[in-house]
Amino acid sequence: MILLEDVFKEIDDVLEKMQAALREMREQEPEFYAKYLPTQRISEAEEQELRSVTDQWTLPEEYVYFLKRYAPEKVSWSTDEYISLTIYGAKDILPGQSGYNYNHVTDEVITDWPSTYLVIASDEGDPYCIDLSRGDTVIYTARHGAGSWDFSIAYDNLVEFLHSVLRPRSFQDWETAESEQYDYYKVFITGTGSDKIKTLVFIKKRFACDYAQAKVYLEARPLLVFKGIELAAAKIEDELKSIGADYECHKISLDEFLRKD
């Protein structure tokens, strides 16, 4: 049986690693990252925000523990897996639900949103959620702009999710033991698939372009949409399968991985 104390320690450990990663970012770009403070001491105002959140929802204990120790002013994580992931602190959870479970303009509930899903982070509009009906921190995600929400499990728990932000943007940033080996893959879109619109939405987000440019990219297939380690390639494959896109995934050598396309 996993004890809560052990989970709390894991959360402390990963938050410490997040702080260390941010210190490195600050050293590289001190002016840009000067205001990025991911784990500063929670303020009195944020304590009030946390009470408001816990009054409104019954949250898993480990998530409450995390919120008490995570008080970001502004943090956005960009890695091989995320374009620009924002993890909400206590003061951002309530506004973070806007556009998902309610429309803040009309002040109306959005009926096609799962009522027990709480958004705890967002990556360029793609929500990362916990299901409050479960009482645990299994993390679900779905692609926005696809017409309907098609959720799948992204991570088994909060700690795994937090660790995911520490995966670097380039191979050179990895600090691993010499004995560790990684397999590398390229993923190509080879056709429009069963739903051309969903494929275009995927390309639009992947390349941060408009629909016109996405159409140009799709016409130029096979279109390389990912090159990297196996774990991240598998996530891209899952996304492409979920939207019915035609794709191919090829294992490549380390030299090919390091070579610029």
- Token pair belonging to 217: 């990219």
How many beta carbons lie within 10 A of that of residue 38, not counting itself? 19
CATH class assigned to 4-164: alpha beta
Q: What pLDDT score does 45 carry?
A: 64
**Confidence class for position 187, pLDDT limits 50, 70, 90:** very high
Of 205 and 128, the structure prediction assigns the larger pLDDT to 128
**Cα–Cα distance measured from residue 175 to residue 64, given in angstroms and rounded to the nearest whole number:** 31
CATH class assigned to 177-258: alpha beta
- Token pair belonging to 228: 């990297």
**Cα–Cα distance measured from residue 133 to residue 240, given in angstroms and rounded to the nearest whole number:** 29
What are the structural domain ranges in the chain?
4-164, 177-258
Q: What pLDDT score does 16 carry?
A: 85
Average pLDDT rounded to a whole number, residues 247-256: 87
Q: Tell me the C-alpha to C-alpha distance, in Å, between residue 193 and each of 46, 138, 209, 247.
A: 47, 30, 20, 8
* Percent of residues, the chain, with pLDDT higher than 70: 82
- pLDDT tens-digit readout, 17-45: 887 777 766 666 555 555 444 555 566 66
Which region holds residue 145: left if phi is over 0, alpha if psi is between -120 and 50, else beta?
Answer: left
